[in-house]
């Protein structure tokens, strides 16, 4: 039952990094937010703990083999329990929900996001792959159903905040900042020997394994360039990436008069999550603040696309358009999983992504069915190569 003056939210991927931090934001402001539904892929024990703490109306586990465990653990509570991917696609359409936080990892977030948009729900977008794979389709649907897409990524949230009140002013370029990850100063020879343990140690951010590896290869930043194009209607040539190791400036906007606006803050994902959930209101928080007296220097440098070719692959895919970003995303998901399973080297990932771009069938005007077919084709292709 919806409580007056509270925003009712569904969290897709509640057991992951973004999902758990979203629940921390809810805990910080119980007077503002109410959790209607939480979902997870297979982390049933964590999902049970969250359900018992936040008492949502519904809980969904994608892995159907975990359904009985989940159902039995919550039998004493008035919580509806469902299982399977289709149940996730259906739960987002529930009438009481105001905002859907899309924190599922990878391509799997696409269909639930589409169903939520069609049901008129605001989208707090943390699943960047949705915009990477099908940005044109998603933006068209959001416009058609008059649904706001509120960015949760720190970089896109920063741009979103910099654009507040600037609706009628021409943007010259967007400047996305990147930490550079743990291998910013590595040589090609050093990158050949990178281990999984090294790649999972991000210098500034605490994130899930997949996005941490994407950050280390700079594919994450390439995906953010693609996402920015669709979120803000800016061509790729007007989106610049700059390496900023301190991760204090989260991104910038340069306007036609040359003025640059930047958004600064601590590297804490709860801040952009809270802004997306409460927009246009800024809520108070107990989170840490920047201390300019002890901050020291802020430095910037150009990214080296020869050392980190995934960023170049992303720009090339965006320039080609059609289903090519979908090709890159599918190949990348397979490569990251293989690297995390110690099946390929760190540098093999970018080589296999480039091979997929050269080998996959290209479709200039893809439909949703085309995206699904491309994703399946490229995954099989990449697995065979590995």
pLDDT > 60? residue 209: yes
Q: Which of 127-136, 155-164, 179-188, 191-200 has the highest mean pLDDT?
A: 155-164
Q: Are residues 129 and 274 in the same domain?
A: no
Do both 164 and 235 map to the same domain? Answer: yes
Residue 34 CA: distances (Å) to CA of 6, 29, 38, 117, 168: 6, 9, 11, 20, 35
The structural domain count of the chain equals 2
Within-domain flag for 315: yes
In a domain, 329, yes or no: no
52 and 197, same structural domain?
no
Do residue 132 and residue 53 come from a single domain?
Answer: yes
Residues 221 and 253 reside in one and the same domain? yes
The pLDDT, as a whole number, for residue 4 is 64
**How does residue 207 score in pLDDT terms, banded at 50, 70 and 90?**
confident
The pTM assigned to this predicted structure is 0.90
Task: Read off the CATH number of the domain in which 42 is found.
Answer: 3.40.50.720
DSSP-assigned states of every residue in 326-354:
HHHHHHHHHHHHHHHTTSS-TTHHHHHHH
What pLDDT is attached to residue 105? 80
In a domain, 1, yes or no: no
In a domain, residue 128? The reply is: yes
**Is the same domain home to 179 and 304?**
yes
Give me the domain span that covers residue 248. 157-320
Residue-wise pLDDT tens digits, 27-78: 999 999 999 999 999 999 999 999 999 999 999 999 999 999 999 999 999 9
User: Are residues 193 and 124 part of one domain?
Assistant: no
Q: Is residue 249 part of a domain?
A: yes
| Percent of the chain topping pLDDT 70 | 98
Is 114 in the same domain as 161? no
Omega of the bond leading into 280 within 30 degrees of 0 (cis): yes
Least confident of 24-38, 196-210, 314-328: 196-210
Asked if 170 and 93 sit in the same domain, the reply is: no
Whether residue 134 lies inside any domain: the answer is: yes
137 and 217 co-located in one domain: no
45/177 same-domain check: no
Reported as half-sphere exposure (CB side, CA atoms, 13 A), residue 305 has a value of 12
pLDDT band at 211 (very low <50, low <70, confident <90, very high): confident
């Amino acid at each position: 039952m919806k409580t007056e003056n509270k925003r009712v939210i569904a969290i897709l991927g509640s057991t992951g990094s973004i999902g758990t931090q979203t629940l921390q934001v809810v805990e910080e402001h119980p007077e503002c937010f109410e959790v209607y539904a939480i979902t997870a892929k297979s982390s049933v024990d964590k999902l049970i703990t969250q359900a018992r703490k936040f008492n949502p109306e519904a809980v969904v586990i994608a892995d159907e083999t975990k359904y009985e465990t989940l159902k039995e653990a919550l039998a004493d509570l008035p919580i509806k329990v469902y299982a399977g991917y289709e149940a996730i696609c259906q739960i987002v359409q529930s009438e009481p929900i105001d905002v859907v936080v899309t924190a599922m990892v990878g391509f799997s977030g696409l269909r639930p996001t589409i169903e939520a948009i069609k049901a008129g729900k605001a989208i707090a977008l943390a699943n960047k792959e949705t915009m990477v794979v099908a940005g044109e389709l998603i933006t068209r649907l959001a416009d058609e159903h008059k649904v706001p897409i509120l960015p949760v990524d720190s970089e896109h949230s920063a741009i979103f905040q910099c654009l507040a009140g600037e609706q009628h002013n021409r943007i010259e370029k967007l400047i996305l900042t990147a930490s550079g990850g743990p291998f910013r100063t590595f040589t090609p020879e050093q990158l050949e020997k990178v281990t999984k343990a090294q790649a999972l140690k991000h210098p500034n951010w605490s994130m899930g394994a997949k996005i941490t590896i994407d950050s280390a290869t700079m594919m994450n930043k390439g995906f953010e360039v693609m996402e920015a194009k669709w979120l803000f209607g800016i061509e790729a040539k007007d989106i610049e990436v700059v390496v900023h190791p301190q991760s204090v400036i989260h991104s910038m906007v340069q306007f036609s008069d040359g003025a640059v606006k930047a958004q600064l803050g601590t590297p804490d994902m709860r801040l952009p999550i809270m802004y997306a959930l409460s927009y246009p209101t800024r809520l108070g928080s107990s989170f840490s603040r920047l201390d300019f007296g002890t901050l020291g220097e802020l430095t910037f440098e150009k990214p080296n696309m020869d050392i980190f070719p995934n960023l170049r692959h992303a720009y090339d895919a965006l320039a080609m358009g059609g289903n090519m970003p979908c090709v890159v995303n599918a190949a990348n998901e397979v490569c990251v999983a293989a690297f995390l399973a110690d099946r390929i080297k760190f540098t093999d990932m970018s080589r296999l992504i480039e091979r997929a771009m050269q080998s996959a069938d290209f479709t200039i005007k893809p439909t949703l069915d085309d995206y699904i077919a491309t994703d399946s084709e490229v995954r099989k292709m990449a697995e065979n190569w590995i």
